[in-house]
Structure 1
Amino acid sequence: MVTDSQTSSRATVHEGHASTAPASRTHFSRVRSFVVRAGRTTTGQQHAIAQFGPRYVLPFRSAALDSDAAFGRSAPLILEIGFGMGDATAEIAKARRQDNFLCCEVHTPGVGALLKRIGEEGIENIRIIQHDAVEVIEHMLQPGMLAGVHIFFPDPWHKKRHHKRRLIQAPFVQALVERLAPGGYVHCATDWQEYAEQMVAQFSAHPLLRNQGTLDGGYASRPWYRPETKFERRGLRLGHGVWDVVFVRQEGGAPPDGP
């Protein structure tokens, strides 16, 4: 199942060129946060890109992002990876206007669709980078600058031989933790239970992350700010599951207590 906020793409990974990075960072340096999929950009989306892109789309740079300058204010910064057509993103940003949302998506139709909503609904706390989120994290985000990370319905790569392409693996988790401020959180949602289990295992293995889930299996109840999409509701009616995984970064370097 792909939710309507993810019809353009799922946050996912591709193998790329060989890396000269240390072994602990090899996976992070080689993966991408997306799969290339065809999609037609509508006239309305093209107009939105032309009209609102210069204000709300930030260029990718191999330099640290000045968040205050980008948003025109100082506020907690939330990174979203792979927003698809941006429906959930827009709803969350409207519900949490006190936060700034830095949203990565490579697919032009999704960027245009979200820009259209930004313009029509006056959503001022979103900025978009149309680039691979893995490279954005590595080059533009400084240690401790994130208050949260959202990764909703990443590509599950359900075939066992493709599991190595999944985004949520140890080197990527380490990269996120480095950029989370103490008390910052990472929130993933997936409709593939085996991937949900992997997420819980990978995040639990990091000594600075503490599971906030209170449900069986270490899962969390759906946080108030994440809306159910129409495809998600349909899947739930058909008996399909959706799992939310929420972890919080702890202070210091000592392993946290158990949940």
Structure 2
Amino acid sequence: MSDGQERAWEDLGPRYVIDTPRDVAELSILPGSTIDPASVWGRSAPLIVEIGSGQGHAIVHAASSRPDADFLAIEVFRAGIARTMLDAERAGADNLRLVEANAPEVLDHLLPAASVSELWVFFPDPWHKKKHTKRRLVTPEFAAVAALALKDGGMLRLATDWEDYALQMRSVLHAADDFEPAFEGEWAPRFDGRVLTAFERKGARVGRDIRDLAYRRRPRT
């Protein structure tokens, strides 16, 4: 990290970053470490979670635009978390918290079941080489932990600029019993709550189509 990011981690980390007990791996979450969102955010409000928040452009904009909701950014790269905290402080986004951990473990162990109103997965690593596609986030196993964390009627929103990954996402989630499509036709309309980032503009500039998907968590029986 840069010197500024190191200072941000030291100065802003206690305010923004949720301290999580670890399991064996560095970015793991110890089972049984579930938080109480009302205690963490100091209120009861809709909770919106972004997986792979990067440098935080989308979630800082969303958090500062929606003071009525609480936001959690999940990211594994510390430099991105530091940049997010700097921007959050400048934007006055006091309703944003961050966690440095693997996303499936956050959904499975850290967040209470049925606590999330919306779950965002915007432009996850496509692992576009054939030998690496098994590392992609959106799998049937991910659909199961996402369904666990989402409230009944909660939304799972996804976007990618890689066509084959978009097709994989759609195939996985169409087959998931806990979800139903919240769109008609092949793809969902662009989610207007997603700010246009430099990353998205770059993908469009090189000719990659941006594809959105949206799924609603079915009621539990």
TM-score when normalising by structure 2: 0.90
Give yes or no for the alignment of 1:114 onto 2:74. no
Q: Helix, strand or coil: the match of 1:202? A: helix
**Counterpart for residue 156 of structure 2:** 186
Matching of residues 4-83 of structure 1 within 5 Å = 41-61=1-21, 62=30, 63-83=33-53
Q: Which structure is higher in RCO with an 8 Å CA cutoff and minimum separation 6? A: 1
Q: Helix, strand or coil: the match of 1:44? A: helix
**Counterpart for residue 94 of structure 1:** 64
**Counterpart for residue 8 of structure 1:** none
Q: Which runs of 4+ in 1 moved over 3 A?
A: none
Give yes or no for the alignment of 1:222 onto 2:190. yes
Percentage of matched positions with identical amino acids? 36
Structure 2: which amino acid aligns with 1:226?
R
**Counterpart for residue 144 of structure 1:** 114
Matching of residues 207-246 of structure 1 within 5 Å = 207-215=177-185, 217=186, 219-246=187-214
CA RMSD in angstroms, aligned pairs only: 1.5
TM-score when normalising by structure 1: 0.77
**Counterpart for residue 26 of structure 2:** none
Whether contact under 8 Å (1:52, 1:115) holds in the other structure is yes
Whether contact under 8 Å (1:45, 1:115) holds in the other structure is no
Q: Helix, strand or coil: the match of 2:120? A: strand
Q: Helix, strand or coil: the match of 2:132? A: helix
Provide the C-alpha distance between the structure 2 equivalents of 1:51 and 1:68, rounded to a whole number of angstroms: 24
Where does structure 2 lack aligned partners over 5 or more consecutive residues?
A: 22-29
1:157, distance to aligned residue in structure 2 (A): 1.5
- Count of paired positions: 211
Give yes or no for the alignment of 1:168 onto 2:138. yes
1:51, distance to aligned residue in structure 2 (A): 1.7
1:213, distance to aligned residue in structure 2 (A): 2.3
Structure 2: which amino acid aligns with 1:224?
D
1:182, distance to aligned residue in structure 2 (A): 0.6
Where does structure 1 lack aligned partners over 5 or more consecutive residues?
A: 1-40, 254-259
Provide the C-alpha distance between the structure 2 equivalents of 1:209 and 1:111, rounded to a whole number of angstroms: 30
Provide the C-alpha distance between the structure 2 equivalents of 1:175 and 1:191, rounded to a whole number of angstroms: 24
Residue in structure 2 matching 1:205, options 168, 175, 178: 175
Structure 2: which amino acid aligns with 1:251?
P
Whether contact under 8 Å (1:44, 1:116) holds in the other structure is no
Whether contact under 8 Å (1:138, 1:175) holds in the other structure is yes
